[in-house]
């Protein structure tokens, strides 16, 4: 190639030095020695682009999650935060506010209850040791059955203490935030079964992620509102609000009639309720097991 070519400082591909960007990797054609004004320009450009992405993505999540999902599926992705990343961000904020009111109070309670917990644990260990000696004489079959019974009794004893209850709540909080991510593929599968016509599973998954992000975002706002007004009314209004918005957004995404959207969502809400019950039972079990 001639003298009018240059090498990309990022991928080392050759291209016309008058080009502003590398045709191979897209990096801007700049001098190797970074000047101060270039540094400042890159800093503000990166921050502006990031802030712009966050603002647009949050705005669409609040008012047009179906449109946001369609944009992502159509390939228009550079100006938005990816759905999974946005969901993880909002999910973190939601559970932070959800459990905000128990953090400081329980920190004091656990200090007061440490002695009680230690006494209970010591007693449980003594009981376990005594029972194990007795069970050795009674036979292996009885040993296995009574060991399970003793294990459950130990958990009940720990659960009845303030420190045990605090550990349970902390476990529930930890598994709940992670569990929301695990739920998404199952929710998307329900949508796939209900709205399967001429579509792929990933399309439903993308919509469900956008939908769940919007629900968590509104949920965060309602939690904050609940700090100032009667929380019982806030919960009722939130449920009605989310049901109506889910209907509107689902109808918009799948382009269905009001009647078809309604009866399909009735099936979905029933299936979702069963899924949530299983999910909550799993959370309770995991939270108790690891006390």
Domain annotation covers residue 133: no
The reply to whether 57 and 191 lie within a common domain is: no
CA–CA distance, 272 with 251 (Å, rounded to integer): 18
Q: Which residues of 104-140 are buried (b: 16+ CB within 10 A; e: fewer)?
A: eebeeebeebeeebeebbeebeeeeeebeeebeeeee
Assessment of whether the complete model's pTM goes beyond 0.95: no
Per the DSSP assignment, residues forming a β-bridge with 14 are 7
The reply to whether 109 and 27 lie within a common domain is: no
| pLDDT tens digits for range 94-110 | 988 887 755 444 444 44
pLDDT of 110: 46
Domain annotation covers residue 67: no
The reply to whether 171 and 50 lie within a common domain is: no
The reply to whether 199 and 236 lie within a common domain is: yes
What is the extent of the structural domain holding 31? 5-61
- Does position 211 have pLDDT exceeding 50, yes or no? yes
pLDDT above 90 as % of the chain? 34
Give the residue-averaged pLDDT of 55-69: 92
Domain annotation covers residue 173: yes
The reply to whether 106 and 19 lie within a common domain is: no
Tally of domains within the chain: 2
Domain annotation covers residue 179: yes
Domain annotation covers residue 126: no
The reply to whether 192 and 282 lie within a common domain is: yes
């Amino acid at each position: 190639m001639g003298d009018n070519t240059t090498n990309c400082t990022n991928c080392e591909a050759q291209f016309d030095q008058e080009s502003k960007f590398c045709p191979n990797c897209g990096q801007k054609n700049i001098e190797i020695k970074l000047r101060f004004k270039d540094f400042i320009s890159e800093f503000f450009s990166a921050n502006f682009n990031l802030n712009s992405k966050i603002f647009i993505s949050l705005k669409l999540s609040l008012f047009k999650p179906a449109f946001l999902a369609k944009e992502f599926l159509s390939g228009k992705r550079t100006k938005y935060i990816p759905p999974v990343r946005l969901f993880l961000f909002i999910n973190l904020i939601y559970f932070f506010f959800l459990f905000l009111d128990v953090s400081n109070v329980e920190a004091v309670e656990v200090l007061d209850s440490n002695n009680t917990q230690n006494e209970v644990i010591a007693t449980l260990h003594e009981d376990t040791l005594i029972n194990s000696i007795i069970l050795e004489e009674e036979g292996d079959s009885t040993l296995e059955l009574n060991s399970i019974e003793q294990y459950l009794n130990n958990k009940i004893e720990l659960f009845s203490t303030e420190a045990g209850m605090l550990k349970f709540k902390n476990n529930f909080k930890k598994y709940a935030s992670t569990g929301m991510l695990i739920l998404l593929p199952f929710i998307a599968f329900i949508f796939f079964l209900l709205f399967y016509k001429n579509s792929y599973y990933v399309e439903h998954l993308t919509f469900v992620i956008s939908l769940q992000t919007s629900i968590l975002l509104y949920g965060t706002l309602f939690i904050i509102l609940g700090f100032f007004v009667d929380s019982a009314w806030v919960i009722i209004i939130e449920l009605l609000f989310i049901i109506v918005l889910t209907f509107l957004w689902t109808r918009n995404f799948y382009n269905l009639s009001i009647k078809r959207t309604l009866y399909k969502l009735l099936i979905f809400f029933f299936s979702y309720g069963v899924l949530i019950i299983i999910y909550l039972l799993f959370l309770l079990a995991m939270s108790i097991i690891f006390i």
